[in-house]
Amino acid sequence: MDFDDQLRRYFGTADLAAIHPEAHAAGTERMRVDFGLETNPGRRFALWALMYMLGVAPDLDVAFKEEGERNIARDFMDMVDRAQEG
């Protein structure tokens, strides 16, 4: 999943600054629906990661049933947080 392609898919643009509030709300809702329907673990994680970076991800205990998946998500969160600090 390419980040820009996912932004275009859900928000109609790859430019985060150009996303209007209405498009953001609609795209977020589509992402949540797709996340709930996705069965492929890799695509599901990638979609959750995009939602996390946009600040709209569901809580880990809701998003992932397996403890291993939650740990991977926590590692990702830590990595993103460290990158934002530096």
Q: What is the DSSP string of 16-75?
A: GGG--HHHHHHHHHHHHHHHHH---HHHHHHHHHHHHHTT-PPPHHHH-SSHHHHHHHHH
Identify the domain containing residue 8 by its residue range.
3-85
pLDDT tens for residues 16-64?
899 999 999 999 999 999 999 999 999 999 999 999 999 999 999 999 9
Angle at 32 between CA 22 and CA 43, to 5 degrees: 125
Structurally, how many domains does the chain consist of? 1
Q: Report the residue count for the chain.
A: 86
Instruction: Say if residue 86's pLDDT is above 80.
Output: no
Q: Which of 16, 82, 85, 4 is nearest to 54 (CA)?
A: 16
